[in-house]
Structure 1
């Protein structure tokens, strides 16, 4: 069967069931979806399917308390083995923890959704392991069994006191030509903790949907050969919960591998700028002009004299150098990333380990990471003059001290 039909079947299944379906060969990654209750308040209807919502306004609490928001990502990693010690499955799961200062109810609601997804991934890892245990005897008749793999990666979209946007990429490899990879977007109201749909953020749902579809089609026209001939008919699927999120630039629609284009094209993103959505998207969800960082980042080993005590801790790796990051001012949109490079010139951004809308004087983030000689595998980012600044973290081969590295080119 054509790969794209398989991909769409998987996509439909997860949207309808929000759970994992398994056959003998390939796991289908599910999407955790919370129940969305539509408003029962009277609304003006422009057509049978179009709803016009009154503009939302932040509560008095939100206006008075612009809460600091952060996301910490921990790694659960292990190798599952058979009774004779043979490798069955390599598991690397990402488990996010959200902090919304001063909004305990919202924080708990968001965390409950993310915990549900993390539990689902633990269950799927167990299922892939059992699949490997079943498949191993037959496969070893023809080749050396290398084991299966379950891997997660977390990325962050827009993160501020209004909305928290988390991208959860899952990849399960069960011995085929490639893994089964899917990215799910979680968009939360940072004030209430509600998981948002387009219905919640639109002034007019039909008009917003039409504009988003048009934006995708226009961008597809720039390279039509990249997409399946029938790709246009699947564009409305991108408006479903789990396939859109807020970035600093606008609303981003996600197309997972094999949906609009062949698997090798990877995950595709289409951005509709906030300017293009004027009058369609509730103004509450349009970000304020980005604030500038005022200060410089600092890094030291936790054991160093004068190093501050961490107020939060995160692991890029389960072992390695234990360091602390802080600032003497304010770093806006502060994040810690995994990063890779083959030549020391071009760097490829990996999963996010930590993110905060700002890091202020008096706050310090403890970080555990493996720091290889010469190269680095972890970096920070923050915003200056509307641009993202990246700095790697290196370790001295002489005295073991840590320091920042200038990175030439960073690719998302």
Structure 2
């Protein structure tokens, strides 16, 4: 699945801030679990989102590509290393997408120029969207949700959703192995939870014929995050359901997360 970041041409920046409080890292010790931070003095975690909207036109002023997006900027007080590591991660994603976006502009121009004069009247342009929102943010975890959308002609846009989770003490991206007591057992519990949930859902009649065989394909390192309610698992389109159903989310409440290390629970 494609992941879309946003080109920063003609950058217009407006900040939306989220501030929470956490505990600073003692760099004299190696911290594998963020609960160590709670033993030290309080500091702020500030998250801002800069707008990266852009519209690219051809030489005749016809819109080729519309970009909508934002990018998180994190500040962890008294922890420059963690701050830099998280911000470097997202800056890297933006730079990688600049190349992809240029390709989409070329595709759009080629598509437009190949059309007849009559069909050009119905040209709507291509579009790319990457919007981040915040999940749980505290002294144990920072979670981001990444919503992507693309349109390159056709019946409908294509949408995907991913997520990233970070240790606010170290700035390192968290994996399932990091947060679970036993990753294999945790996966089994999560798969069983999803299977039970979809069999009771309103969209159960839209499940693919072999959906049970693909339940295990839902959970990856890019499709889980912590919210204020629990552990959220993302199921993107076409894994167990068609496009018409949309992206699904399954939230396992915190009181049922017996397989998660206590230091990652609120």
Query: Given the two structures, how large is their TM-score scaled by the length of structure 2?
Result: 0.82
The alpha-carbon distance between structure 1 residues 208 and 77, as it changes in their structure 2 partners (threshold 3 A), is same
Alignment of 1:58 onto 2:35: yes
| Structure 1 match to 2:91 | 115
Structure 1 residues 105-254: aligned runs within 5 Å:
105-143=81-119, 144=121, 145-223=123-201, 224-254=204-234
Whose strand fraction is larger, Structure 1's or Structure 2's? 1
Is the CA contact (8 Å cut-off) linking 2:34 and 2:139 kept in structure 1?
no
- SS of 1:139's partner is coil
How far is the alpha carbon of 1:160 from its aligned partner? 0.9
Alignment of 1:29 onto 2:6: no
- In the alignment, the residues of structure 2 paired with residue 142 and residue 57 of structure 1 have an alpha-carbon distance, to the nearest angstrom, of 61
- In the alignment, the residues of structure 2 paired with residue 257 and residue 175 of structure 1 have an alpha-carbon distance, to the nearest angstrom, of 18
Relative contact order higher in (CA < 8 Å, ≥ 6 apart)? 2
- SS of 1:85's partner is coil
- In the alignment, the residues of structure 2 paired with residue 189 and residue 240 of structure 1 have an alpha-carbon distance, to the nearest angstrom, of 18
The alpha-carbon distance between structure 1 residues 150 and 58, as it changes in their structure 2 partners (threshold 3 A), is same
Q: Which residue, out of 248, 253, 260, partners 2:240?
A: 260
Alignment of 1:282 onto 2:261: yes
Q: Number of aligned pairs?
A: 236
How far is the alpha carbon of 1:157 from its aligned partner? 1.0
Is the CA contact (8 Å cut-off) linking 2:76 and 2:168 kept in structure 1?
yes
Alignment of 1:73 onto 2:45: no
How far is the alpha carbon of 1:56 from its aligned partner? 4.3
- In the alignment, the residues of structure 2 paired with residue 140 and residue 92 of structure 1 have an alpha-carbon distance, to the nearest angstrom, of 28
What stretches of structure 1 of length at least 5 have no aligned partner?
1-9, 11-27, 32-54, 288-412
The alpha-carbon distance between structure 1 residues 114 and 57, as it changes in their structure 2 partners (threshold 3 A), is closer
Is the CA contact (8 Å cut-off) linking 2:34 and 2:168 kept in structure 1?
no
Whose helix fraction is larger, Structure 1's or Structure 2's? 2
- SS of 1:71's partner is strand
- In the alignment, the residues of structure 2 paired with residue 259 and residue 242 of structure 1 have an alpha-carbon distance, to the nearest angstrom, of 14
- In the alignment, the residues of structure 1 paired with residue 43 and residue 212 of structure 2 have an alpha-carbon distance, to the nearest angstrom, of 41
How far is the alpha carbon of 1:142 from its aligned partner? 4.9
Query: Given the two structures, how large is their TM-score scaled by the length of structure 1?
Result: 0.54
Moved over 3 A (4+): 28-31
How far is the alpha carbon of 1:58 from its aligned partner? 2.5
Alignment of 1:271 onto 2:251: yes
The alpha-carbon distance between structure 1 residues 93 and 120, as it changes in their structure 2 partners (threshold 3 A), is farther
What stretches of structure 2 of length at least 5 have no aligned partner?
6-31
Measured on the aligned residues, the alpha-carbon RMSD in Å equals: 1.9
How far is the alpha carbon of 1:57 from its aligned partner? 6.4
How far is the alpha carbon of 1:257 from its aligned partner? 2.0
